[in-house]
Protein backbone atom coordinates (compact mmCIF):
# COMPACT_ATOMS: atom_id res chain seq x y z
CA UNK A 1 0.00 0.00 0.00
CA UNK A 2 2.77 2.40 -0.90
CA UNK A 3 1.17 5.26 -2.79
CA UNK A 4 -2.35 5.74 -1.61
CA UNK A 5 -3.58 9.17 -2.67
CA UNK A 6 -5.40 11.38 -0.18
CA UNK A 7 -8.53 11.91 -2.24
CA UNK A 8 -11.41 12.09 0.23
CA UNK A 9 -12.81 15.19 1.95
CA UNK A 10 -14.13 13.08 4.80
CA UNK A 11 -14.15 9.43 5.85
CA UNK A 12 -17.08 7.61 7.38
CA UNK A 13 -16.94 4.48 9.51
CA UNK A 14 -20.06 2.35 9.92
CA UNK A 15 -22.18 1.34 6.96
CA UNK A 16 -25.53 0.71 8.62
CA UNK A 17 -28.40 2.66 6.98
CA UNK A 18 -27.67 5.99 8.73
CA UNK A 19 -24.01 5.85 7.71
CA UNK A 20 -24.75 4.87 4.11
CA UNK A 21 -27.34 7.62 3.74
CA UNK A 22 -25.06 10.31 5.15
CA UNK A 23 -22.33 9.22 2.72
CA UNK A 24 -24.74 9.39 -0.23
CA UNK A 25 -25.97 12.79 0.94
CA UNK A 26 -22.37 14.10 1.16
CA UNK A 27 -21.67 12.71 -2.31
CA UNK A 28 -24.75 14.46 -3.72
CA UNK A 29 -23.36 17.70 -2.32
CA UNK A 30 -20.06 17.32 -4.14
CA UNK A 31 -17.86 15.90 -1.39
CA UNK A 32 -15.65 12.86 -1.89
CA UNK A 33 -16.25 10.38 0.90
CA UNK A 34 -14.23 7.33 1.90
CA UNK A 35 -16.33 4.51 3.37
CA UNK A 36 -15.20 1.89 5.85
CA UNK A 37 -16.89 -0.88 7.78
CA UNK A 38 -15.33 -3.43 10.11
CA UNK A 39 -16.93 -6.17 8.02
CA UNK A 40 -14.96 -5.34 4.89
CA UNK A 41 -17.34 -7.14 2.54
CA UNK A 42 -19.93 -4.46 3.45
CA UNK A 43 -17.64 -1.85 1.87
CA UNK A 44 -17.43 -3.74 -1.43
CA UNK A 45 -21.15 -4.41 -1.42
CA UNK A 46 -21.89 -0.73 -0.79
CA UNK A 47 -19.53 0.41 -3.57
CA UNK A 48 -21.02 -2.08 -6.02
CA UNK A 49 -24.63 -1.24 -5.20
CA UNK A 50 -25.89 1.92 -3.44
CA UNK A 51 -22.69 3.86 -4.21
CA UNK A 52 -22.33 2.65 -7.80
CA UNK A 53 -21.59 5.45 -10.26
CA UNK A 54 -20.72 7.96 -7.50
CA UNK A 55 -17.38 9.44 -6.43
CA UNK A 56 -17.45 7.46 -3.19
CA UNK A 57 -14.29 5.49 -2.46
CA UNK A 58 -13.79 2.61 -0.03
CA UNK A 59 -11.07 1.23 2.17
CA UNK A 60 -10.30 -2.28 3.37
CA UNK A 61 -8.28 -1.36 6.42
CA UNK A 62 -8.19 1.48 8.89
CA UNK A 63 -4.72 2.39 7.64
CA UNK A 64 -5.83 2.61 4.01
CA UNK A 65 -8.91 4.53 5.14
CA UNK A 66 -6.85 7.16 6.96
CA UNK A 67 -4.37 7.48 4.07
CA UNK A 68 -7.19 8.31 1.69
CA UNK A 69 -8.25 11.36 3.69
CA UNK A 70 -7.14 14.90 2.91
CA UNK A 71 -5.65 16.82 5.83
CA UNK A 72 -6.76 17.77 8.33
CA UNK A 73 -8.34 14.33 8.22
CA UNK A 74 -12.00 14.15 9.15
CA UNK A 75 -13.06 10.74 10.42
CA UNK A 76 -16.77 10.48 11.13
CA UNK A 77 -18.11 7.47 13.01
CA UNK A 78 -21.66 6.19 12.87
CA UNK A 79 -21.31 3.20 15.12
CA UNK A 80 -23.21 1.91 18.12
CA UNK A 81 -22.94 4.24 21.14
CA UNK A 82 -20.69 3.04 23.94
CA UNK A 83 -17.59 0.86 23.75
CA UNK A 84 -17.57 0.70 19.93
CA UNK A 85 -16.87 4.43 19.76
CA UNK A 86 -13.88 4.16 22.08
CA UNK A 87 -12.62 1.10 20.20
CA UNK A 88 -12.67 2.85 16.83
CA UNK A 89 -11.02 5.95 18.27
CA UNK A 90 -8.19 3.70 19.52
CA UNK A 91 -7.94 2.07 16.09
CA UNK A 92 -7.73 5.26 14.03
CA UNK A 93 -5.44 7.27 16.32
CA UNK A 94 -2.16 5.59 15.22
CA UNK A 95 -2.87 6.70 11.64
CA UNK A 96 -3.83 10.30 12.44
CA UNK A 97 -1.73 13.39 13.04
CA UNK A 98 -2.19 16.30 15.40
CA UNK A 99 -4.99 18.59 14.24
CA UNK A 100 -6.95 15.76 12.64
CA UNK A 101 -10.63 15.57 13.52
CA UNK A 102 -12.71 12.68 14.83
CA UNK A 103 -16.49 13.09 14.68
CA UNK A 104 -18.97 10.91 16.53
CA UNK A 105 -22.32 11.14 14.74
CA UNK A 106 -23.97 8.43 16.84
CA UNK A 107 -26.28 8.62 19.82
CA UNK A 108 -23.62 8.91 22.51
CA UNK A 109 -24.52 9.93 26.03
CA UNK A 110 -23.06 13.42 26.63
CA UNK A 111 -20.78 12.52 29.58
CA UNK A 112 -18.91 10.16 27.22
CA UNK A 113 -18.57 12.97 24.69
CA UNK A 114 -17.23 15.34 27.37
CA UNK A 115 -14.65 12.73 28.34
CA UNK A 116 -13.63 11.95 24.75
CA UNK A 117 -13.24 15.60 23.82
CA UNK A 118 -10.95 16.19 26.78
CA UNK A 119 -8.89 13.05 26.17
CA UNK A 120 -8.41 13.71 22.46
CA UNK A 121 -7.68 17.41 22.87
CA UNK A 122 -5.02 16.49 25.43
CA UNK A 123 -3.37 14.39 22.70
CA UNK A 124 -3.54 17.19 20.13
CA UNK A 125 -6.53 15.94 18.16
CA UNK A 126 -9.91 17.58 17.66
CA UNK A 127 -13.17 15.87 18.56
CA UNK A 128 -16.74 16.64 17.55
CA UNK A 129 -19.78 14.99 19.12
CA UNK A 130 -22.60 15.59 16.70
CA UNK A 131 -26.24 14.83 17.33
CA UNK A 132 -27.96 13.78 14.09
CA UNK A 133 -31.75 13.73 13.94
CA UNK A 134 -34.25 12.93 11.25
CA UNK A 135 -33.87 9.19 10.92
CA UNK A 136 -32.84 7.41 7.74
CA UNK A 137 -34.79 9.73 5.48
CA UNK A 138 -33.24 12.77 7.14
CA UNK A 139 -29.73 11.35 6.85
CA UNK A 140 -30.25 10.85 3.12
CA UNK A 141 -31.93 14.13 2.19
CA UNK A 142 -31.26 16.59 5.01
CA UNK A 143 -30.92 15.87 8.73
CA UNK A 144 -30.86 18.26 11.62
CA UNK A 145 -27.26 18.29 12.87
CA UNK A 146 -26.06 19.45 16.30
CA UNK A 147 -22.24 19.53 16.46
CA UNK A 148 -20.28 20.38 19.58
CA UNK A 149 -16.80 19.71 20.98
CA UNK A 150 -13.47 21.16 19.82
CA UNK A 151 -14.36 24.51 18.33
CA UNK A 152 -11.24 24.58 16.13
CA UNK A 153 -12.77 21.69 14.19
CA UNK A 154 -15.84 23.70 13.19
CA UNK A 155 -14.39 25.68 10.24
CA UNK A 156 -13.28 22.37 8.70
CA UNK A 157 -16.53 20.42 9.09
CA UNK A 158 -18.90 23.37 8.65
CA UNK A 159 -18.98 23.38 4.81
CA UNK A 160 -19.80 19.65 4.71
CA UNK A 161 -22.32 19.62 7.54
CA UNK A 162 -24.17 22.75 6.48
CA UNK A 163 -24.35 21.47 2.90
CA UNK A 164 -25.94 18.15 3.84
CA UNK A 165 -28.25 19.46 6.59
CA UNK A 166 -31.94 20.24 6.13
CA UNK A 167 -32.69 23.83 5.04
CA UNK A 168 -35.49 26.12 6.15
CA UNK A 169 -35.86 29.31 4.09
CA UNK A 170 -32.39 28.62 2.77
CA UNK A 171 -30.82 28.42 6.23
CA UNK A 172 -29.11 25.14 7.18
CA UNK A 173 -30.44 23.30 10.27
CA UNK A 174 -26.90 22.92 11.54
CA UNK A 175 -24.77 25.32 13.52
CA UNK A 176 -22.08 25.12 16.17
CA UNK A 177 -23.73 24.21 19.49
CA UNK A 178 -20.95 24.61 22.06
CA UNK A 179 -17.99 23.02 23.84
CA UNK A 180 -17.28 19.35 24.68
CA UNK A 181 -20.53 17.38 25.05
CA UNK A 182 -22.87 20.25 24.13
CA UNK A 183 -23.90 18.76 20.77
CA UNK A 184 -24.93 15.43 22.19
CA UNK A 185 -26.54 17.16 25.17
CA UNK A 186 -28.72 19.29 22.93
CA UNK A 187 -29.63 16.22 20.87
CA UNK A 188 -30.66 14.48 24.10
CA UNK A 189 -32.88 17.41 25.10
CA UNK A 190 -34.32 17.38 21.58
CA UNK A 191 -35.35 13.78 22.14
CA UNK A 192 -36.83 14.61 25.53
CA UNK A 193 -38.86 17.41 23.97
CA UNK A 194 -39.98 14.96 21.32
CA UNK A 195 -41.32 12.70 24.10
CA UNK A 196 -43.24 15.68 25.49
CA UNK A 197 -44.67 16.77 22.14
CA UNK A 198 -45.88 13.24 21.42
CA UNK A 199 -47.47 12.85 24.87
CA UNK A 200 -49.35 16.17 24.58
CA UNK A 201 -50.74 15.16 21.21
CA UNK A 202 -51.86 11.84 22.66
CA UNK A 203 -53.62 13.67 25.50
CA UNK A 204 -55.43 15.92 23.01
CA UNK A 205 -56.52 12.83 21.07
CA UNK A 206 -57.61 11.06 24.27
CA UNK A 207 -59.69 13.85 25.75
CA UNK A 208 -61.37 14.71 22.44
CA UNK A 209 -62.19 11.04 21.92
CA UNK A 210 -63.54 10.47 25.42
CA UNK A 211 -65.23 13.81 26.08
CA UNK A 212 -66.77 14.33 22.65
CA UNK A 213 -66.93 10.75 21.39
CA UNK A 214 -65.28 11.67 18.09
CA UNK A 215 -64.25 9.05 15.53
CA UNK A 216 -60.70 8.68 14.26
CA UNK A 217 -61.78 10.25 10.98
CA UNK A 218 -63.26 13.29 12.72
CA UNK A 219 -60.13 13.56 14.83
CA UNK A 220 -58.05 13.39 11.66
CA UNK A 221 -60.00 16.38 10.32
CA UNK A 222 -59.26 18.33 13.50
CA UNK A 223 -55.54 17.63 13.19
CA UNK A 224 -55.68 18.63 9.53
CA UNK A 225 -57.03 22.00 10.60
CA UNK A 226 -54.54 22.37 13.47
CA UNK A 227 -51.69 21.71 11.08
CA UNK A 228 -52.57 24.90 9.22
CA UNK A 229 -52.07 27.22 12.19
CA UNK A 230 -49.76 27.80 15.13
CA UNK A 231 -49.48 24.03 15.77
CA UNK A 232 -48.15 23.34 12.25
CA UNK A 233 -45.49 20.65 12.77
CA UNK A 234 -44.25 17.30 11.59
CA UNK A 235 -45.80 15.44 14.55
CA UNK A 236 -49.26 16.99 14.05
CA UNK A 237 -49.00 16.17 10.35
CA UNK A 238 -48.18 12.50 10.87
CA UNK A 239 -50.88 12.25 13.56
CA UNK A 240 -53.41 13.46 10.96
CA UNK A 241 -52.21 10.77 8.55
CA UNK A 242 -52.22 8.06 11.23
CA UNK A 243 -55.79 8.88 12.30
CA UNK A 244 -56.95 8.68 8.68
CA UNK A 245 -55.13 5.41 7.96
CA UNK A 246 -57.44 2.40 7.46
CA UNK A 247 -56.82 -1.23 8.29
CA UNK A 248 -57.60 -3.89 5.64
CA UNK A 249 -61.22 -4.03 6.87
CA UNK A 250 -61.64 -0.27 6.48
CA UNK A 251 -61.57 0.51 10.19
CA UNK A 252 -58.97 2.97 11.61
CA UNK A 253 -55.70 1.09 12.09
CA UNK A 254 -54.78 3.16 15.16
CA UNK A 255 -57.61 1.54 17.12
CA UNK A 256 -56.06 -1.90 16.65
CA UNK A 257 -52.68 -0.95 18.09
CA UNK A 258 -51.81 -2.14 21.60
CA UNK A 259 -51.49 0.79 24.01
CA UNK A 260 -48.12 0.03 25.54
CA UNK A 261 -45.35 2.51 24.70
CA UNK A 262 -41.74 1.60 24.22
CA UNK A 263 -38.74 3.82 24.90
CA UNK A 264 -35.03 3.69 24.22
CA UNK A 265 -33.80 5.91 27.05
CA UNK A 266 -33.01 9.39 25.74
CA UNK A 267 -36.19 10.79 27.33
CA UNK A 268 -35.13 9.25 30.61
CA UNK A 269 -31.60 10.70 30.25
CA UNK A 270 -33.12 14.16 29.85
CA UNK A 271 -35.16 13.78 33.02
CA UNK A 272 -32.22 12.36 34.96
CA UNK A 273 -30.15 15.33 33.85
CA UNK A 274 -32.99 17.65 34.91
CA UNK A 275 -32.99 16.06 38.37
CA UNK A 276 -29.19 16.28 38.56
CA UNK A 277 -29.34 19.97 37.64
CA UNK A 278 -32.32 20.73 39.91
CA UNK A 279 -34.41 22.01 36.99
CA UNK A 280 -38.21 21.49 36.96
CA UNK A 281 -38.53 19.85 33.54
CA UNK A 282 -41.91 18.51 34.61
CA UNK A 283 -43.54 17.99 31.25
CA UNK A 284 -40.89 15.66 29.84
CA UNK A 285 -40.86 13.88 33.20
CA UNK A 286 -44.59 13.26 32.91
CA UNK A 287 -44.16 12.12 29.33
CA UNK A 288 -41.60 9.50 30.35
CA UNK A 289 -43.78 8.33 33.25
CA UNK A 290 -46.86 8.20 31.00
CA UNK A 291 -44.98 5.70 28.84
CA UNK A 292 -44.08 3.73 31.96
CA UNK A 293 -47.74 3.68 33.05
CA UNK A 294 -48.82 2.56 29.60
CA UNK A 295 -46.33 -0.30 29.74
CA UNK A 296 -47.97 -1.95 32.77
CA UNK A 297 -51.04 -2.78 30.71
CA UNK A 298 -52.00 -6.04 32.46
CA UNK A 299 -52.08 -4.31 35.82
CA UNK A 300 -54.12 -1.43 34.35
CA UNK A 301 -56.62 -3.88 32.96
CA UNK A 302 -57.09 -5.32 36.46
CA UNK A 303 -57.27 -1.82 37.96
CA UNK A 304 -59.97 -0.86 35.45
CA UNK A 305 -62.34 -3.37 37.01
CA UNK A 306 -61.51 -2.42 40.61
CA UNK A 307 -61.23 1.37 40.53
CA UNK A 308 -64.05 3.52 39.23
CA UNK A 309 -64.14 7.13 38.02
CA UNK A 310 -66.78 9.81 37.52
CA UNK A 311 -69.84 9.16 35.39
CA UNK A 312 -69.90 12.79 34.27
CA UNK A 313 -70.67 13.55 30.63
CA UNK A 314 -69.33 16.51 28.71
CA UNK A 315 -72.09 19.09 28.44
CA UNK A 316 -70.34 22.17 27.06
CA UNK A 317 -70.00 23.61 23.58
CA UNK A 318 -68.20 21.02 21.46
CA UNK A 319 -66.73 23.42 18.95
CA UNK A 320 -65.40 25.64 21.71
CA UNK A 321 -63.89 22.62 23.46
CA UNK A 322 -62.01 21.56 20.34
CA UNK A 323 -60.58 25.06 20.18
CA UNK A 324 -59.72 24.90 23.89
CA UNK A 325 -57.82 21.64 23.36
CA UNK A 326 -55.74 23.27 20.63
CA UNK A 327 -54.92 26.05 23.08
CA UNK A 328 -54.05 23.58 25.85
CA UNK A 329 -51.73 21.84 23.42
CA UNK A 330 -50.12 25.07 22.31
CA UNK A 331 -49.63 26.45 25.82
CA UNK A 332 -48.24 23.14 27.12
CA UNK A 333 -45.83 23.10 24.22
CA UNK A 334 -44.59 26.59 25.10
CA UNK A 335 -44.04 25.42 28.68
CA UNK A 336 -42.18 22.30 27.57
CA UNK A 337 -39.77 24.25 25.37
CA UNK A 338 -39.32 26.89 28.07
CA UNK A 339 -38.40 24.06 30.47
CA UNK A 340 -36.07 22.50 27.91
CA UNK A 341 -34.21 25.78 27.44
CA UNK A 342 -34.07 26.26 31.24
CA UNK A 343 -32.39 22.86 31.48
CA UNK A 344 -29.90 23.64 28.71
CA UNK A 345 -29.06 26.97 30.33
CA UNK A 346 -28.33 25.24 33.65
CA UNK A 347 -26.30 22.44 32.03
CA UNK A 348 -24.35 25.09 30.13
CA UNK A 349 -23.55 26.87 33.39
CA UNK A 350 -22.54 23.58 34.99
CA UNK A 351 -20.30 22.49 32.11
CA UNK A 352 -18.94 25.87 30.99
CA UNK A 353 -20.66 25.70 27.60
CA UNK A 354 -21.52 28.81 25.64
CA UNK A 355 -24.74 27.62 24.04
CA UNK A 356 -26.10 29.22 20.93
CA UNK A 357 -29.83 29.30 21.77
CA UNK A 358 -31.07 30.83 18.53
CA UNK A 359 -28.91 28.33 16.66
CA UNK A 360 -30.45 25.45 18.62
CA UNK A 361 -33.96 26.58 17.70
CA UNK A 362 -32.83 26.86 14.08
CA UNK A 363 -31.30 23.35 14.14
CA UNK A 364 -34.62 21.96 15.43
CA UNK A 365 -36.64 24.04 12.98
CA UNK A 366 -36.22 21.53 10.15
CA UNK A 367 -34.98 18.03 9.43
CA UNK A 368 -35.85 16.52 12.80
CA UNK A 369 -38.92 14.99 14.43
CA UNK A 370 -39.87 18.10 16.45
CA UNK A 371 -39.64 20.43 13.44
CA UNK A 372 -42.37 23.05 13.49
CA UNK A 373 -43.34 26.59 12.66
CA UNK A 374 -43.26 27.25 16.41
CA UNK A 375 -39.46 26.76 16.48
CA UNK A 376 -39.18 29.65 14.06
CA UNK A 377 -40.81 31.85 16.71
CA UNK A 378 -38.34 30.56 19.32
CA UNK A 379 -35.46 31.36 17.00
CA UNK A 380 -36.83 34.88 16.53
CA UNK A 381 -37.06 35.32 20.31
CA UNK A 382 -33.44 34.28 20.93
CA UNK A 383 -32.13 36.20 17.92
CA UNK A 384 -33.79 39.33 19.26
CA UNK A 385 -32.39 38.72 22.72
CA UNK A 386 -29.60 36.13 23.05
CA UNK A 387 -29.58 36.75 26.83
CA UNK A 388 -33.31 36.04 27.20
CA UNK A 389 -33.69 34.64 30.73
CA UNK A 390 -36.77 32.56 29.96
CA UNK A 391 -38.75 31.91 26.79
CA UNK A 392 -41.89 32.96 28.69
CA UNK A 393 -40.40 36.46 29.10
CA UNK A 394 -40.27 37.03 25.35
CA UNK A 395 -43.22 39.31 24.48
CA UNK A 396 -44.47 36.96 21.74
CA UNK A 397 -44.59 33.98 24.11
CA UNK A 398 -45.87 35.97 27.09
CA UNK A 399 -48.81 36.98 24.93
CA UNK A 400 -49.29 33.54 23.37
CA UNK A 401 -49.35 31.70 26.69
CA UNK A 402 -51.59 34.32 28.31
CA UNK A 403 -54.10 34.12 25.48
CA UNK A 404 -54.16 30.33 25.72
CA UNK A 405 -54.74 30.08 29.47
CA UNK A 406 -58.52 30.12 29.44
CA UNK A 407 -58.86 27.18 27.06
CA UNK A 408 -55.95 25.40 28.74
CA UNK A 409 -57.55 25.69 32.21
CA UNK A 410 -60.86 24.51 30.82
CA UNK A 411 -59.31 21.39 29.27
CA UNK A 412 -57.34 20.48 32.41
CA UNK A 413 -60.40 20.92 34.63
CA UNK A 414 -62.66 19.02 32.22
CA UNK A 415 -60.08 16.22 32.25
CA UNK A 416 -60.24 16.11 36.05
CA UNK A 417 -64.06 16.21 36.10
CA UNK A 418 -64.46 13.57 33.42
CA UNK A 419 -61.65 11.38 34.73
CA UNK A 420 -59.49 11.60 31.61
CA UNK A 421 -55.78 11.88 32.45
CA UNK A 422 -53.84 14.85 31.05
CA UNK A 423 -50.49 14.49 32.85
CA UNK A 424 -48.46 16.64 30.46
CA UNK A 425 -51.03 19.41 30.01
CA UNK A 426 -51.93 19.58 33.69
CA UNK A 427 -48.36 19.46 34.96
CA UNK A 428 -47.50 22.20 32.48
CA UNK A 429 -50.31 24.30 33.91
CA UNK A 430 -49.14 23.60 37.46
CA UNK A 431 -45.65 24.70 36.45
CA UNK A 432 -47.01 27.86 34.85
CA UNK A 433 -49.00 28.75 37.94
CA UNK A 434 -46.05 27.98 40.20
CA UNK A 435 -43.59 29.90 38.06
CA UNK A 436 -45.72 33.05 38.03
CA UNK A 437 -46.14 33.03 41.85
CA UNK A 438 -43.68 35.32 43.61
CA UNK A 439 -44.59 33.48 46.81
CA UNK A 440 -44.92 29.69 47.06
CA UNK A 441 -45.72 27.66 50.19
CA UNK A 442 -42.10 26.65 50.68
CA UNK A 443 -42.09 28.92 53.75
CA UNK A 444 -44.13 26.21 55.48
CA UNK A 445 -41.89 23.53 54.03
CA UNK A 446 -38.78 25.21 55.44
CA UNK A 447 -40.48 25.47 58.82
CA UNK A 448 -41.26 21.73 58.71
CA UNK A 449 -37.66 20.93 57.84
CA UNK A 450 -36.41 23.07 60.68
CA UNK A 451 -38.97 21.60 63.08
CA UNK A 452 -38.03 17.96 62.64
CA UNK A 453 -34.46 18.24 61.40
CA UNK A 454 -33.15 21.59 62.64
CA UNK A 455 -32.19 22.34 59.01
CA UNK A 456 -32.49 26.11 59.67
CA UNK A 457 -34.27 28.65 57.48
CA UNK A 458 -33.96 32.23 56.33
CA UNK A 459 -36.39 35.02 57.20
CA UNK A 460 -37.73 37.29 54.48
CA UNK A 461 -36.25 40.23 56.38
CA UNK A 462 -32.85 38.65 57.14
CA UNK A 463 -30.63 36.39 55.00
CA UNK A 464 -28.96 34.73 58.02
CA UNK A 465 -29.74 31.08 58.62
CA UNK A 466 -31.56 30.56 61.91
CA UNK A 467 -33.10 27.74 63.88
CA UNK A 468 -36.19 28.00 66.06
CA UNK A 469 -36.93 26.07 69.23
CA UNK A 470 -40.38 25.04 67.92
CA UNK A 471 -41.47 22.63 70.67
CA UNK A 472 -39.92 24.11 73.72
CA UNK A 473 -37.98 20.86 74.22
CA UNK A 474 -35.77 20.19 71.19
CA UNK A 475 -32.06 20.70 71.08
CA UNK A 476 -30.62 23.90 69.69
CA UNK A 477 -28.04 22.24 67.48
CA UNK A 478 -28.84 22.99 63.87
CA UNK A 479 -28.30 20.26 61.31
CA UNK A 480 -25.30 21.10 59.21
CA UNK A 481 -26.30 18.90 56.32
CA UNK A 482 -28.32 21.65 54.65
CA UNK A 483 -25.46 24.07 54.59
CA UNK A 484 -22.86 21.46 53.68
C1 LIG B 1 -20.89 -2.51 9.44
O2 LIG B 1 -22.07 -2.57 8.67
C3 LIG B 1 -23.19 -3.14 9.30
C4 LIG B 1 -24.39 -3.09 8.39
O5 LIG B 1 -24.10 -3.52 7.13
C6 LIG B 1 -23.53 -2.46 10.57
O7 LIG B 1 -24.59 -3.12 11.23
C8 LIG B 1 -22.33 -2.37 11.45
O9 LIG B 1 -22.67 -1.58 12.58
C10 LIG B 1 -21.16 -1.77 10.74
N11 LIG B 1 -20.05 -1.78 11.67
C12 LIG B 1 -18.99 -1.02 11.71
C13 LIG B 1 -18.50 -0.68 13.04
O14 LIG B 1 -18.39 -0.63 10.75
C1 LIG C 1 -30.12 38.83 61.25
O2 LIG C 1 -30.20 37.67 62.03
C3 LIG C 1 -29.03 37.39 62.77
C4 LIG C 1 -29.20 36.05 63.48
O5 LIG C 1 -30.36 36.03 64.24
C6 LIG C 1 -28.73 38.53 63.76
O7 LIG C 1 -27.53 38.27 64.46
C8 LIG C 1 -28.62 39.82 62.97
O9 LIG C 1 -28.50 40.89 63.87
C10 LIG C 1 -29.82 40.04 62.10
N11 LIG C 1 -29.58 41.17 61.25
C12 LIG C 1 -30.49 42.17 61.12
C13 LIG C 1 -30.06 43.23 60.13
O14 LIG C 1 -31.55 42.18 61.67
C1 LIG D 1 -36.45 25.32 74.14
O2 LIG D 1 -37.44 26.01 74.81
C3 LIG D 1 -37.77 25.52 76.10
C4 LIG D 1 -38.96 26.28 76.65
O5 LIG D 1 -38.71 27.64 76.61
C6 LIG D 1 -36.54 25.56 77.00
O7 LIG D 1 -36.84 24.98 78.22
C8 LIG D 1 -35.42 24.81 76.32
O9 LIG D 1 -34.23 24.96 77.09
C10 LIG D 1 -35.17 25.32 74.92
N11 LIG D 1 -34.17 24.49 74.31
C12 LIG D 1 -33.02 24.94 73.90
C13 LIG D 1 -32.05 23.90 73.48
O14 LIG D 1 -32.75 26.11 73.84
Q: How far apart are CA 138 and CA 141, in angstroms?
A: 5
Q: Coil, strand or helix: which one is 477? A: coil
**pLDDT above 60 (res 289):** yes
Ligand 2 in reach of 464 Cβ (< 6 A): yes
**pLDDT above 70 (res 480):** no
**pLDDT, tens digit, for every residue of 10-41?**
999 999 999 999 999 999 999 999 999 999 99
Category of 319 on φ-ψ map: left (φ > 0), alpha (ψ -120 to 50) or beta: alpha
State residue 475's pLDDT score: 57
Cis peptide before 72 (omega within 30 of 0): yes
pLDDT confidence band for 483 (50 / 70 / 90): very low
327 among the known binding-site residues?
A: no
**pLDDT above 80 (res 306):** yes
Buried b (16+ CB within 10 A) or exposed e, 3-20: eeeeebbbbbbbbeebbb
As a whole number, mean pLDDT of residues 123-143 equals: 95
Ligand 1 in reach of 37 Cβ (< 6 A): yes
pLDDT confidence band for 476 (50 / 70 / 90): low
99 Cβ neighbours under 8 A, 6+ residues apart: 71, 72, 124, 125, 126
449 among the known binding-site residues?
A: yes
399 among known catalytic residues: no
Ligand 2 in reach of 303 Cβ (< 6 A): no
Q: Which of 391, 270, 293, 276 is nearest to 333 (CA)?
A: 391
Its pTM surpasses 0.85:
yes
Q: How far apart are CA 480 and CA 327, in angstroms?
A: 47
State residue 2's pLDDT score: 54
**pLDDT above 70 (res 482):** no
**pLDDT above 70 (res 443):** yes
Mean of pLDDT over the chain = 95
As a whole number, mean pLDDT of residues 415-439 equals: 98
Of residues 475 and 275, the one with the higher pLDDT is 275
Q: Which of 156, 151, 153 is nearest to 179 (CA)?
A: 151
194 among known catalytic residues: yes
Strand (E) or helix (H) holding 111: helix 110-122
Strand (E) or helix (H) holding 13: strand 10-13
Identify which ligand lies nearest to the alpha carbon of 465: 2
Specify the residue with its C-alpha closest to ligand 1, atom 10: 14
How far is the centre of ligand 3, averaged over its atoms, from the C-alpha of 477 (Å)? 12
As a whole number, mean pLDDT of residues 233-244 equals: 97
Whole-Å CA distances, 55 to 23, 25, 39, 102: 10, 12, 21, 22
**pLDDT above 60 (res 413):** yes
Specify the residue with its C-alpha closest to ligand 3, atom 9: 473
Identify which ligand lies nearest to the alpha carbon of 471: 3
**pLDDT above 90 (res 408):** yes
Among 466, 473, 475, 479, name the best residue to mutate to test ligand 3's pocket (greatest count of ligand atoms within 8 A of Cβ).
473
Amino acid sequence: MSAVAAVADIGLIGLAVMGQNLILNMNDNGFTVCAYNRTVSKVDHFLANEAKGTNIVGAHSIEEFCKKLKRPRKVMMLVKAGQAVDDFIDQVLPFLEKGDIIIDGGNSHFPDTIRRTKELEAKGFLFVGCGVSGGEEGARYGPSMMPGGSKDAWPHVKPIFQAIAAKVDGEPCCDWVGETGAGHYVKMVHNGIEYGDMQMICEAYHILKEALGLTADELGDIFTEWNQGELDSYLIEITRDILKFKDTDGSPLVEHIKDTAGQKGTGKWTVVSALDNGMPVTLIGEAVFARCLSAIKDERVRASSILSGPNAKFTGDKKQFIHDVSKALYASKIISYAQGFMLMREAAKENGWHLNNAGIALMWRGGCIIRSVFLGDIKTAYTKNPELENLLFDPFFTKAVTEATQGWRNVVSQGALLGVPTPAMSSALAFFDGYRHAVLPANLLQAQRDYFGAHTYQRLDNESWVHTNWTGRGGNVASTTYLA
